[in-house]
Structure 1
Amino acid sequence: MSDTVRITGVHAEGRHGVHEEEKTRPQPFLVDVEAEVEAARAAAGDDLADTVSYADIASDAVAVVRGPSVDLIETLAQRIADRVLARGALRVAVTVHKPEAPVGLPFSDASVTVRRDGPLAASGTIRRAVVALGANLGDARAALDAAVEAVRRLDVCVTAVSRYARTAPVLAPGQPPQPDYLNAVLTLTTAMSPLDLLAALQRIEVRLGRVRRERWGPRAIDLDIVDVEGVASRNPRLTLPHPLAAGRLFVLEPWMEIEPDATLAGSPVASLAAAAAARSGVCA
């Protein structure tokens, strides 16, 4: 479930229109923006950094309206939408009003509304995704087998599954010992949106006994989206690429096994694995 940030009536003057006079004489524009966001973390922590600020949205709207001249208010709306989506909004609706448009007849307002999905919410485009799997409670091998089979039953095409590797758990300072993990990586292609894929993976976790109690705690199954082709996101619900994957040997090594030439955020996975191994004193 998502939340909405809304700001209406943002006023700025700009020089936009198809007529020469419109490109030279400043005209008033009003902008309304409705952004779908994930505000739960911001509300819990009372931290503006965890949501999309309506002040930033207003600044984006004003900057675009005051910016380079364009012919169409559709273009203005699109540029504002792009800026708001870049701030982490899941979806956005932008309305640009041009109350002094040269209509030639009596009217009260002229406006255009565009609605756009951000990369996390957009579906319909087939993308490659990388998913890391891990388990260290009960029969970990059976859990991974069941998870892989459950992923295959989603609206996806699983293209490769690595071998299962036994690895030591990553523990926080003072955290009690845990059993070793079995880890793996699979790749898939899907037209599902990244958020829909995340929701589907979390449902699989629940069915297989995952209980979220503590960070880095033991778990019956763990399914993490590491990377989605062409998607970069700072959204607190799903940050892509995964913010910790570049330093995790238990992700990089199985990924490298099935995609030797893979890259993560522009860096070769093989190089990242070598660097992570050097830091840990392990031979990659």
Structure 2
Amino acid sequence: MLKYVLLALSVFSGAALANVIHEERSLYRNIIVDETRDLRCLKFNTKSSQTSQSCMYKNDPDKLVFNYTKLTFASLLVTENPKNVLIIGLGGGTLSNVIHELYPAAKIHNVEIDPAVLSVARDYFSFIENDKVTSSVQDGRIFIKRAAIKKKKYDWIILDAFNGDYIPEHLLTKEFFEEVKGVLADGGVVAANTFSSSKLYEHESATYHSVFGDFINVSRANRSNRIILAGFKAMPTKAQLNERVKALGPKLKKYDVDINAISNYMQYTKDEQDWPKNTKILTDQYSPANLLNF
């Protein structure tokens, strides 16, 4: 019992120390930026929860805070030297900033539906924009539809949209994933930030599999996040993985990304399919929002 009391006191103490430095009501949600000692966080405050979308250490902004952000870099073990990167869902712009540092010649385009989030990323999280790093205020699905019409292709597509409760329903369906596949370059990869603890886990897995075939789950034991890597041509051989880990290790160290450890969290669904074969696929007509309360 004592440890739970201490934990509660610790959480309460941390909350009490948080200093709100920005707060606004956007078109979509309440947005809060607060600071607790060295940690600055962007939070979405919805009716059901308050969730941290992006955090940075003010005194060490290169160091990544969130586990899922670090896991996203498993993408670089299945695709090399991305030249055109598309990120759906901006947050504080952390992923974009790191990718730009790693690949300064790459073109990176960020798509964010909420203009207030883009402003906060610029004002409070040192979001980098230049001739290589650009952004659009638009719904991610609409952007991808228009990109397909323009025949655009991306070799690293990161799906990281979150509305404060879960991934928006229209960005979780078979039809949407088919649209994403249509703008994925040959040899590219889709990296999706989702959850291993969700009641939609099996439905999401079945839906990704129906469009992309076998994919890779990247997740740590007893953690709620998982990264899905899909759309790549083939699972790298052990020798290829070792070679890429060796090359990436020094580059990612400054961001506190242990790519060697992350490589061990990768599970290929061809070897281990963990959802029933008759699992219903999510579609534009079937997307059960009631399951989002997980």
- State TM-score, norm by structure 1: 0.28
**Structure of higher CA gyration radius:** 1
